[in-house]
Structure 1
């Protein structure tokens, strides 16, 4: 932004643009006094500013140094700060993260496929007499020449021909948000790095240090908009912010989404930051947009080579760790959005070779996690153990997702895969318990991690039931199906009881937005157990658990602003009340008549299916429904398309 200095401004002049405040309010910008602010700004007693020069005017400006010895964009360029590790490196032995960012030539670097990379390597090896270390102007840049497969980047135009990129995406939205936040902008950023970043460290260490330091105002505006929006649900966690009214979350998120859409017109490496922060923001209500952004961030990560192992690259340890953490943040988004939104995952096993991040603090080595260059205290990263555990748990979840979306499953293959998954889960449990014992600091993501673990166990139980049911045509395994049904009921009960018993401190921790959808899935499973069982004791138990969940979710929402249960209340509250009204009173159930959870040995093959009535759908069906309560279901979930006739649940992947 530059100050206005002119004698007058012609009416509706395009050569002399209106100042920012007049343009924002869509009023006439009238300059009636030479070298003075416009009439509106003069009345308000504020400085009058107009946007900086156009892209054509600034295209000849020289790149500025970012202080790390690498080339970056001048603050007047389109991005104030597109990435934390700088631009292209002097060495071409490895492609830096910043090569995918903006540069003065309007070029970007993307990875090529393995087959093409091999062709490029062989052709350049035989056709060029220039040593590779001296090919500074080559269109192909090598990140790795591992005999197992080279990683090659090529330079491509960054924008469409004739496209004029905006100087700073999201600048108008940022101005509005910062006016709402007032003097608490820096406190909001500090709160993000205290509560969100350690649990989801998608932002690199250098950018983290800049955001917490004196140069924070030069960071890309769209990124700041999404950071501001992500801390609104955590407003009361700050001793400073809780003394002031909480901003309207929906309004702030609408501005942040608008800024992200501006940035997506010319995506770069920083778009990965924006999409990742946006899709894990709370509350998560724009499902279609989140699905699109989840797919977009995976596509960009593949394009910029984040799916390749950087450990052998000729880059600094900080940059390697940043790339690894970014990839696994994206992996978490892809796996949990898949199981929550009912869409197949975008990341395929065998198409990436990035190792799991090591369980150690994610603080910048420059600051050592204590203070920045200007003495501003940096929040201590305290959830790296939970992040590591969530990465490995997401890897286990990804092993099961193909079984969820396979339309023609092989029962034998499913059983073998489930056996392998069971071993992985047991190892994860041992590692997570050991990590919790060794944790020396407060973990702000432990509750979310436990909920995710229980959700994975629930999915495992449901897939086990599906595999057992698929084998009924070949083997008379009614007892096995009964055991799977009991395990499924217990797994769903554990999920709901865990959420019902959350304390105030746990509700204020970091939670992924996918909790809303996974909670609905667990509730629907227990509802189905209640409506389809012929065992009255089981019906009473399920109804009591569901009513307890409903009451506690309402308390969580009203007393602690925990909005993650609203989706469950919206879709399931009336169903829960109906099931409770049809369940027999507890006093009429004789405890000695039948056990709450009957054992397989006490039942015959004919009795083993008492969970199901004659008209029920197959219990393993991920899209199975509730024929007994279709009237409520249609009102809450809407009618399904004609191609889905007979299917009552339209987006339940479990």
Structure 2
């Protein structure tokens, strides 16, 4: 059943607003208490559009959630207006695209002459007839879409129809419907890039919903194969056809083209990195061409289309930021060229409908909240890329600054303080009842970003020959953050949680946690063998054995859990993470003999099923040492032996 929301009464909204004010005050109090003397206020996550998820308390009764990063180192929300059920009817911009013509957004630099004619005409009837559509209701802001002939090269929809029939035949009777249902139940609630009712209406050949989207349906079926073990062996064959259908869509780009491309980018296992990179670049170009980067809240478009445009844009932002982070390449979307506000709980398919089963609405809203959370995290990743990994950042500073690190931590702490309880993970407390699709993906992503920030602290404070006080503090904090991540993976339920929605970047975050633990273990191992330098640092030297045992224990827990997830439950996320993790373990086995046995286990599991281009190689996992802004040369020789008795100062 497609998710729908309740249409709230005015009284309910007033009560909810009052409750939110109380919760905001509580959140502020908690953040202040956690600062433990820190003079700098913890700021909420920076966003031009403000908060999008309800603010609730920072603790859950009975257990504490993971502490805020800044605390470990020493705003009332605005509501959107109620839905106007008497809203004026407007024609769809997306459905106007056909085989003969298509609409493209033109910016102010291209439309100045036309706006001059519009602004100086004495009456609307005297305005010259141009093949344009003005969708903005604000007379001060002209937003034009130009209608131009559609030059479709190739056979377009005819080819997509043929590919669709071939995919259905390849899957066999019953499987296309099963895979569609999986998509509607698992992926779409957590990654709502389609309007559910329009999709179902098109599949039922309802005229007003547009033609049957054959290429999009191919992508949906290929994406959903990961959920069904019975057809997993067909993935590569089906995916070749999906890529072919997607290529046909680019010949006449529209919103549907972006939806298919995003489904492709969000599909696991993520194998074809070159294809994905080109698909992302084309997708961003199409998004700009159809004006998706602009705030359409007041445009003369149907409500469903405004919501879909906003959700598709932010899904594209999520994919762009994470692909940039995973591969170490520049992001393609920049904050100075967009005006789309963060989505809200009301940006859904549900419109004027209300469900007869409130529990279905609650689950759907929880999934939507997880998507909003992913959008907010993408803004933090954007700042991380700009401040630490961009070429401009590397030219400006030689290493990460404490101010930038505190600012980044503050953003994540602000998000942690205001996310609703339904999105929070509390160690040791098992969820009761059904966990909405997308919740676990958000929780793993949130914990994984903490690991990325911890890695920045560790590498920026690190000195070549000895452990300083700042680095010692970063080691202690990093180990605690990694333990939260490892514990979260251990508490997942294989029979249900492994089969829920996960984005491709989750496997990168798993292997990154393993990589950070190995970095710390190697660093401590080296320091334990440099007795001359340690003698002058008795306080730090006394902690090294405990840290060494702590890091090796976490590595063992993480790897053993991942191997069990692969061998017993065929969890693709763990399998992909171990393809990279196995190289990491092998490279450190000569330095840390205790890890040699672990390195043998992953080799048997991962190599049997690893695709040829499944992930970047080991060198890419360690990263270019210049990216970490510190003396990082010790990590470039992992596995080559060490001169442990000599100082390199």
Q: CA deviation at 1:497?
A: 4.2
Alignment-derived partner of residue 558 in structure 2:
549
**Residue in 2 aligned with 1:408?**
395
* Matched residue, 2:133: 141
Q: Answer yes or no: is 1:153 the counterpart of 2:145.
A: yes
Secondary structure at the aligned position of 1:197 is classed as helix
Q: Which residue of 1 aligns with 2:489?
A: 499
2:240 match: 254
Which protein has greater RCO, CA pairs closer than 8 Å, 6+ apart? 2
Q: Which structure 1 segments of 5+ residues have no match?
A: 1-90, 237-243, 372-378, 587-615, 633-654
Contact 1:546 1:576 in 2 (8 A): no
Q: CA deviation at 1:625?
A: 7.3
Q: 2:193 matched to which residue of 1?
A: 202
> How large is the RMSD of aligned CA atoms in angstroms?
3.9
Q: Secondary structure at the match of 1:337?
A: helix
- For residues 348 and 294 of structure 1, do their structure 2 counterparts lie closer, same or farther at Cα, with a shift above 3 Å needed? same
Q: Is the 8 A contact 1:357 1:388 kept in 2?
A: yes
| Match of residue 397, structure 1, among 381, 387, 391 | 381
Partners of 1:96 and 1:315 within 8 A in 2: yes
Q: Is residue 516 of structure 1 aligned with residue 507 of structure 2?
A: yes
In structure 2, the residue matched to 1:284 is 270
Counterpart CA distance in 1 for 2:422 and 2:189 is: 16
Q: Match of 1:154, SS? A: strand
Q: Kindly report which structure 2 residues correspond to 1:15-94, keeping only aligned pairs within 5 A, or say none.
A: none
The residue aligned with 2:535 is: none
Question: 1:410–1:421: structure 2 CA closer, same or farther, 3 Å change rule?
Answer: same
Answer whether contact 1:361 1:382 (CA < 8 A) is retained. Answer: no
Is 1:303 the counterpart of 2:289 in the alignment?
A: yes
Paired with 1:498 and 1:442, the residues of 2 have a C-alpha distance of: 15
Q: Is the 8 A contact 1:617 1:625 kept in 2?
A: no
| Structure 2 residue 157 is matched with structure 1 residue 173 | no
Which one of the candidate residues 387, 391, 394 is aligned to 2:371?
387
Residue in structure 1 matched with residue 218 of structure 2 by the alignment: 225
Higher helix share: 2
Counterparts of 1:217 and 1:228 in 2: how far apart (Å)? 20
Q: 1:97 pairs with 90, 93, 96, which one?
A: 93
Paired with 2:242 and 2:354, the residues of 1 have a C-alpha distance of: 31
Pick closer, same or farther for the CA change 1:356–1:578 going to 2, 3 Å: closer
Of 554, 569, 572, which aligns to 1:560? 569
Match of 1:529 among 520, 536, 559: 520
Q: 1:455 Cα shift? A: 1.8
The answer to whether the Cα contact below 8 Å between 1:411 and 1:467 also exists between their aligned partners in 2 is no
Cα drift, residue 324 of structure 1? 1.4
Structure 2 counterpart of 1:321:
307
User: Which of 108, 111, 123 matches 2:105?
Assistant: 111
Shift of 1:96: 4.1
Any conservation in 2 of the 1:617–1:624 contact (CA below 8 Å)? Answer: no
**Secondary structure of the corresponding residue to residue 135 of structure 2:** strand
Between the two proteins, the alignment pairs up a number of residues equal to 489
Cα distance change on mapping 1:453 and 1:110 into 2, 3 Å: same
1:569 aligns with 2:565: no
SS of 1:182's partner is coil
Q: Provide, for residues 173-205 of structure 1, a one-character-per-residue CA deviation record: whole Å limited to 9, x for no partner.
A: 221221223123223212211100000011124
Does structure 2 retain, via aligned residues, the 8 Å contact 1:543–1:579?
no
Task: Report the Cα offset of residue 280 of structure 1.
Answer: 0.2
Which of 388, 408, 413 is the equivalent residue of 1:421?
Answer: 408
Is this contact kept in 2: 1:335–1:397, CA < 8 A? yes
Q: Normalising by structure 1, what TM-score?
A: 0.66
CA distance in 2 between partners of 1:314 and 1:117 (Å): 19
CA separation in 2, counterparts of 1:548 and 1:279? 31
Query: Which is higher, the Rg of structure 1 or of structure 2?
Result: 1
Tell me the SS of whatever aligns to 1:256.
helix
The answer to whether the 8 Å contact 2:400/2:628 transfers is no
Could you tell me how far 1:447 is from its partner in structure 2? 1.4
Pairing 1:394-473 to 2, within 5 Å after superposition: 394-403=378-387, 404-405=389-390, 406-410=393-397, 415-436=402-423, 442-465=435-458
Displacement of 1:385 after TM fit? Answer: 1.6
Alignment check: 8 A CA contact 1:496 1:545 kept: yes
Stretch of structure 1 that moved more, 414-423 or 398-407: 414-423
CA drift at 1:453: 0.6
